[in-house]
Structure 1
Amino acid sequence: MDGPAPIGPPEVLAALGAAFRLHEHPDVTCPVEVCAALGVPLERTVKTLAFVTPEDHLLLAAVPGHARLRYGALARAVGIRRGDLSPAGTERLTRAGMQPGGVCPVSADRAATVVFDETVGSLGLVHCGSGRPGSSIEIETAELMAAVPTAATAQIAGLPVDEPA
């Protein structure tokens, strides 16, 4: 890759003036272990899944940490076929300032399409990926979502049945 590496989510958030805290957990990457290390329930996290389209366009889907992504609903939300969603690889994530295991809905790829599940906005203070697997960002969902003004909101998550909708 030519030139310097893209900036990561913390730098993007700082440049936007967003209020957040960065938490290091270098030896813990499993979501349940990260939650235990940070002292937060999985329900107070936002996980982001990264995909690429056949045109190499980055698509980021942000859902509550305890939810499952509904792939068909995500594809419909952005007007593509389900079969056009492919997991983003390491090289593609690197171009967006991120690494596997640390994906964030805020990225250096300003052309990325971001879709937040409709429930994310009501979560309040959450933890999400920082761009690196060994740290997390603590941020209010309003600040997180405001950092991606072009993001869409749609019903893309399947919540566990014992959770209220």
Structure 2
Amino acid sequence: MAEVLDVCAALGVPLERTVKTLAFVTPEDRLVLAALPGHARLRYGALARAAGIRRTDLSPAGAGRLARAGMRPGGVCPVSADGGAVVVFDETVGGLGRVHCGSGRPDSSIEIDAAELIAAVPTAATAPIADIPTTAGAGAT
């Protein structure tokens, strides 16, 4: 977490104005991307329900699976080259305004309006998949 806060400080961007994307894979090798505010914790069961799968079917996506989707670890983006990916945005993301998110590479990020980010993934679902802390920097997963 300290590393993330250091990057935010260097960019002059509050953690609450970032969108992190967590990548998972199902037993059928389907990519599931969860996009949520940078300071929030993922609710795995809620993500699974929104994606239409069982919680036990979510496994972290490895570097090889991310590479097939055009991404690298540390830079996961909700906009994927994998047309079959299931993308779920937390319901709060659309109201965040201008945000920074992963670009697909760990050495760069994208600054974009959150509503435009969601619109860039027309097949994405929006659901309450995040626990938002009441105080900034209160923890993230």
Aligning the two structures, in what range does the TM-score lie when normalised by the shorter sequence?
over 0.9
Match among 98, 104, 112 for residue 131 of structure 1: 104
1:158 matched to 2:95: no
Offset of 1:61 from its aligned partner?
Answer: 0.2
- Which residue in the other structure is 2:119 paired with? 146
Structure 1 distance, partners of 2:77, 2:5, is 17
Match among 37, 40, 53 for residue 64 of structure 1: 37
Partner-residue secondary structure (3-state), 1:60: strand
Kindly provide the amino acid, as one letter, of the partner of residue 8 in structure 2: C
1:78-105 per-residue CA deviation (whole Å, 9 max, x = no partner) reads: 1211110000000000011100000000
Kindly provide the amino acid, as one letter, of the partner of residue 155 in structure 1: P
Identity score, percent: 79
Offset of 1:151 from its aligned partner?
Answer: 0.1
Larger radius of gyration: 1
- Which residue in the other structure is 1:44 paired with? 17
Structure 2 distance, partners of 1:116, 1:82, is 17
Structure 2 distance, partners of 1:31, 1:135, is 13
Q: Which runs of 4+ in 1 moved over 3 A?
A: none
- Which residue in the other structure is 2:57 paired with? 84
Unaligned stretches of 5+ in structure 1? 1-29
TM-score by length of 2: 0.92
Offset of 1:72 from its aligned partner?
Answer: 0.6
- Which residue in the other structure is 2:6 paired with? 33
Offset of 1:162 from its aligned partner?
Answer: 3.9
Partner-residue secondary structure (3-state), 2:117: helix
Kindly provide the amino acid, as one letter, of the partner of residue 93 in structure 1: L
- Which residue in the other structure is 2:139 paired with? none
1:123-159 per-residue CA deviation (whole Å, 9 max, x = no partner) reads: 0100000111111100001111111000000000001
